[in-house]
Structures are given as C-alpha cells and as structure tokens.
C-alpha cells in the first residue's frame, strides 16, 4: 500500500504517513461517540487462593516478561488478562515498548505511540504524548550506544558533596563559639 501511495507522488516516510493516518483514525473515533471505558468493575482474584490481586502486584506483573514469571505469577497474569481488558492492553503495550527499548530499533516507536494513544487509557496516553514531545531525543536514546548516566552520576555526587560540606560549615559555626580578634 505504501508503494502505491509513493507511486502517486508521496515523498514522505512511512513513519510520517502512519502518524497522519493515526490522527485521522483518532478524529474518526471521536466523532463516532464516547470511547469504551476500560475499568475493572470488581477486583480480580487469584484463581488458586481467591485473594484479590493488589494493584501493586498487578503493576509489577504488567511489565515483567513472560519468560521471567514464576508459575504463580503467570497464573496471576492470566487471571488479570481474563478479568481486565485494560490490563491485557497495558501489558501488551508494555511488552512491545520493552522490545523496542531492548532491540535498539526506534522504527516501531511511532506505531507504538499511535497504538498507545488510541487505547484511551489515560496513563498510557499521557506517556505516549510525553514521548512524542521529544521524539528525536527518545529515538536517539534507543538507537545510540551512548548514555549520559555517568555524567549525571558525577553531577549528583558533586552536589551531594557540596551539600555535605555546606552543612559541616554551618554545624561548625553553630557549635563553636565566635571569637573576636581585636
């Protein structure tokens, strides 16, 4: 399909075309009526114990890859997916994003952001829009082997040292009597 569009004179990239189409899809979706709310009406329960799965556990399981789950955790993930379409959507997006980050290929990022925005899950939409604001920086962070983590660590160390030294001077000024030298 992309080749057909190019043959008709389109000179842009596939990514730009995907973004344009996603915007049209969103606009069309909004004119059709309110989006379906993804809510958990009742707590999802662990099938083995019957206890409700806490939001903290659900959040941790949402981002953990299937291969690293224990059998108990996998059972909980399956229960959460069955009990909450929102969880299934979030987990799918989280796993795709994890794959993009670890794959060091930023090409699928634009499509991921479009899919994330179309979910109507407020935290996911907000995250995708934030990424989109600085798309090229995020793209470079994914593709480039360099990181400014070492620099930020040194800056943090220097600030901590400076604060400690300032605190020591303040402590000395408060504890030692002031001497006049005339």
In a domain, 135, yes or no: yes
In a domain, 17, yes or no: yes
In a domain, 177, yes or no: no
- Asked whether residue 179 carries a pLDDT value surpassing 70, the answer given is no
Distance, CA of 65 to CA of 37 (rounded, Å): 26
Residue pair 16/2 in contact (Cβ under 8 Å)? The answer is no
pTM of the predicted model as reported, rounded to 2 decimal places: 0.61
Residue pair 100/106 in contact (Cβ under 8 Å)? The answer is yes
In a domain, 45, yes or no: yes
The count of domains in the chain is: 1
- Write down the mean pLDDT value for the chain: 83
Distance, CA of 59 to CA of 74 (rounded, Å): 14
DSSP state letters, 104-134: T--TTHHHHHHHHHHT--HHHHHHHHHHHHT
89-93, 119-123, 167-171: range with lowest mean pLDDT: 167-171
Residue pair 79/47 in contact (Cβ under 8 Å)? The answer is yes
């Amino acid at each position: 399909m992309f080749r057909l569009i190019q043959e008709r004179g389109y000179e842009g990239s596939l990514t730009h075309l995907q973004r344009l189409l996603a915007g049209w899809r969103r606009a069309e979706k909004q004119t059709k009526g309110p989006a379906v709310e993804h809510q958990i009406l009742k707590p999802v329960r662990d099938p083995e114990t019957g206890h409700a799965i806490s939001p903290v556990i659900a959040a941790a399981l949402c981002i953990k890859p299937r291969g690293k789950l224990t059998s108990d955790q996998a059972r909980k993930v399956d229960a959460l997916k069955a009990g909450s379409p929102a969880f299934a959507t979030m987990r799918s997006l989280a796993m795709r994003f994890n794959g993009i980050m670890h794959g060091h290929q930023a090409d699928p990022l634009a499509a991921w952001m479009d899919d994330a925005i179309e979910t109507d899950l407020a935290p996911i939409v907000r995250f995708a829009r934030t990424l989109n604001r600085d798309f090229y920086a995020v793209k470079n962070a994914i593709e480039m082997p360099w990181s400014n983590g070492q620099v930020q660590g040194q800056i943090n160390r220097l600030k901590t040292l400076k604060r400690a030294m300032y605190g020591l001077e303040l402590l000395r000024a408060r504890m030692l009597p002031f001497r006049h030298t005339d």
